Amino acid sequence: MTLPGSPFLARRGASLSLEQVELTDLARRFGTPLYAYSRNAMRAALAGYQRALAGRKHLICYAMKANSNLAVLQTFAQAGCGFDIVSAGELRRVLAAGASADKVVFSGVGKTRADMQAALEAGVLCFNVESQPELLLLSQVASAHGATARISLRVNPDVDARTHPYISTGLKGNKFGVAHEQALAVYRQAAELPGTEVAGIDCHIGSQITDIDPYIDAVDRLLDLVEAVEASGIPIHHVDMGGGLGITYTDETPPSAEALLGAVLARMDERGHGQREILLEPGRSLVGNAGVLLTEVLYLKPGEQKNFCIVDAAMNDLVRPAMYEAWMAIVPCELREQAAQRWDIVGPVCESGDWLGRDRDLAVRQGDVLAVLSAGAYGFAMSSNYNSRARAAEVMVDGNQVHLIRERESLTDLYALERLIP
């Protein structure tokens, strides 16, 4: 079986390595469940976007909700990347990682007054405004601070990204963005209101998108609006195409960032918008294939209808299979010379939905370490303490170096904020 995803993950003999480090060694040293990331895989993914945009006015804003560990943010900030944030907590993380707010765009349908204040004080580059009432509140908050909020309207282009319904965001029925038909009126208002200044336009049509076409449809819809808004005397400086580029979990064949951007930029050129600054908000495609989740086989439980391979990672550690029925590759860190059997890989949580993979052919024994591949995006970031399980540790591999970038939670951390009643 070939491994989907990262060239930084390879089998040498029987052993699976991430960059120069054997995964079984990581599991032994740091325990399981353990998230392990390749720093050079992240750098390489970013470099793909940077190459495609070389010579253009651009800013790549990593959509940090995919993986918000400080060391991940630091890695991207050092490589010149900005950030797409969706909360004041994410803003605090960006600043804690040593990055500056002037490369931050602030997305999200439910920004609070406190979120806006924090972002204005930090001096974010742009607010991606998702509704008219949000615009009104932002104008109030900015005026009260004697500040000016640069804004971009997130427009819902009503294009079908043909992805999972939970991660499709650019259709009329979604909660995101301002409807295309209302956008011009909202831009007019933004240009008049005190405390706001129009900077750009943006969209984000979904996630795990594996076709170029929906992006080209979105470019056309956005440029139609740019032309209409500018014709009414309001200049638009940047066009933000959002994120959403998919990765290979199994047999998906998403375009590379270069291919996607080649097509997007060609379309912008064709329509005479080649000089315009372009912003992007990639999340999954920068980190997804850079990470694995390591988990130990606790018990093998063969049954009449199903064989269960019970591992020490669960839906609280990695929720994508339970939440989106996502298929993620699961492979042994050390190959065994024995016949494979068919297993459901399940965790210890008390829910039948607690599975990581179903009907997988694996040669495993109790005590073996398995790797769930392509777990670098929406893995740790979506983890929880359900069943009072402490969250996993995270390590960053860089060549032959290993850095512990998040300690395993302790059992007392689980209730540290709780109080008994006197």
Contact pattern from residue 87 through residue 126 relative to ligand PLP, giving x for each residue in contact according to CB under 6 A and a dash for the rest:
--------------------x-------------------
Q: Indicate the pairing of strand 15-18 with strand 21-22.
A: antiparallel
The least distance separating ligand PLP from the CB of residue 305, rounded to whole angstroms, comes to 36
Q: Which of 354, 197, 413, 378 is nearest to 285 (CA)?
A: 378
Q: Using alpha carbons only, give the angle 246, 75, 262 rounded to the nearest 5 degrees.
A: 40
Cβ atoms of residues 37 and 392 within 8 Å = no
> With CB under 6 A as the contact rule, which of the stretches 282-290, 341-349, 357-365, 410-418 interacts with ligand PLP?
282-290
Taking each continuous run of H as one helix and of E as one strand, the counts in the chain are 11, 21
Cβ contact 396:369 at 8 Å: no
Nearer of residues 110 and 272 to ligand PLP, judged by Cβ: 110
From 226-234, 239-247, 400-408, 414-422, span contacting ligand PLP (CB under 6 A): 239-247
Q: How far is the CB of 243 from ligand PLP (least distance, A)?
A: 3
Of the pair 217, 281, the CB lying nearest ligand PLP is at 281
196 or 285, CB closer to ligand PLP?
A: 285
Residue 204 contacts ligand PLP per CB under 6 A: yes
Q: Least separation, in Å, of the C-beta of 69 and ligand PLP?
A: 15
Taking each helix axis from N to C terminus, what angle separates 257-270 and 39-53, rounded to the nearest 10 degrees? 20
Q: How far is the CB of 75 from ligand PLP (least distance, A)?
A: 17
The CB-of-285 to ligand PLP minimum distance in angstroms stands at 6
The pair of structure tokens assigned to 420 is 């008994």
Q: Are strands 21-22 and 9-12 parallel, antiparallel or unpaired?
A: unpaired
CB of 359 to ligand PLP, least distance (A): 27
Place of tokens 């400086």: 237
Q: Does 284 bind ligand PLP (CB under 6 A)?
A: yes
- Which is nearer to ligand PLP, 242 or 347 (by Cβ)? 242
Shortest spacing between CB 257 and ligand PLP, in angstroms: 11
282 is an interface residue for ligand PLP by CB under 6 A: yes
Q: Are 239 and 280 in contact (CB under 8 A)?
A: no
**Smallest separation, CB 185 to ligand PLP (Å):** 22
65 binds ligand PLP (CB under 6 A): yes
Options 84, 90, 317, 354; binder of ligand PLP; rule CB under 6 A: 84
Contact present, 363 and 338 (Cβ < 8 Å): yes
Pairing of strands 401-406, 393-398: antiparallel
114: helix, coil or strand? Answer: helix
- Per-residue CA distances from 13 to 22, 37, 329, 334 (Å): 11, 21, 19, 9
Phi-psi region of 177 (alpha: psi -120 to 50; beta: other; left: phi over 0): left
Applying CB under 6 A, which part among 118-126, 276-284, 360-368, 400-408 lies near ligand PLP?
A: 276-284
We find the least distance from the C-beta atom of residue 204 to ligand PLP, in angstroms, to be 4
Amino acid letter, 68: S
> Dihedral sign, CA of 183, 268, 58, 95?
positive
Contact status: 243 vs ligand PLP (CB under 6 A): yes
Interface stretch with ligand PLP, choices 74-82, 133-141, 143-151, 280-288 (CB under 6 A): 280-288
Which tokens is 13 given?
Answer: 């003999």
CA distance 122 to 327: 39
Angle between helices 113-122 and 132-144 (to 10 degrees): 50
Measured distance CA(310)–CA(250) in Å, rounded? 22
**Span of 12-20, 46-54, 62-70, 213-221 interacting with ligand PLP by CB under 6 A:** 62-70
Would you call 350 a catalytic residue per the annotation? yes
Which of these segments, 61-69, 247-255, 310-318, 363-371, binds ligand PLP (CB under 6 A)?
61-69
In terms of CB distance, is 215 or 343 closer to ligand PLP? 215
Beta bridge partners of 294: 34, 371
For ligand PLP, the closer of residues 246 and 321 by Cβ is 246
For position 376 contacting ligand PLP by CB under 6 A, the verdict is: no
Residue nearest to ligand PLP (CB): 283
Residue placing its CB nearer to ligand PLP in the complex, 66 or 183: 66
66 binds ligand PLP (CB under 6 A): yes
How far apart are alpha carbons 169 and 159 in whole angstroms?
A: 9
393 touches 408 (CB < 8 A): yes
Which candidate, 386, 378, 351, 367, places its Cα nearest to that of 311? Answer: 367
Smaller CB distance to ligand PLP: residue 33 or 243? 243
Residues that bind ligand PLP (CB under 6 A): 63, 65-66, 84, 107, 204, 207, 242-245, 281-285
What residues act catalytically? 350
